[in-house]
Amino acid sequence: MIPYARDLPVDASDELIASTEAHVRAEMSARAAADDDPETNADDVEVSVERLADKVRVVGTLDAEPDAPYLKPDYDAFAGVPAHLLAQVYDDGEA
């Protein structure tokens, strides 16, 4: 199960809520897709809107395991990055 939530101001417009629902659906779908495609699982995402005292919360759930490459335990964000660029990222001046 993959959960995801976004909080909005208590006075959020219907338009903002609708666009946030679309964002949550796309984000959830992409997390469970090996190709990171926001459409792959979109029909399987359940989205609800909770109106709380101090905010509006848009919650999405998807009964699936994360499959996007960047969510896998062995994912290396720096794989294939040249050493001189890594030195800049770490700001140590050495490769």
Dig out the tokens for 73 from the structure. Answer: 């335990």
pLDDT in tens, 13-23: 999 999 999 99
pLDDT of residue 6: 96
By C-alpha distance, which of 58, 2, 66, 63 is closest to 36?
A: 66
pLDDT of residue 94: 52
Report the distance separating Cα 23 and Cα 1, nearest Å. Answer: 18
Q: What is the DSSP letter of 16?
A: H
Which of left, alpha, beta for 93 (phi over 0: left; psi -120 to 50: alpha)?
left
CB 61 within 8 A of CB 28: yes
Domain ranges of the chain: 2-65
CB 50 within 8 A of CB 59: yes
Helix (H, G, I), strand (E, B) or coil at 78: coil
pLDDT tops 80 at residue 48 = yes
CA 57 from centroid of its chain's CA atoms: 15
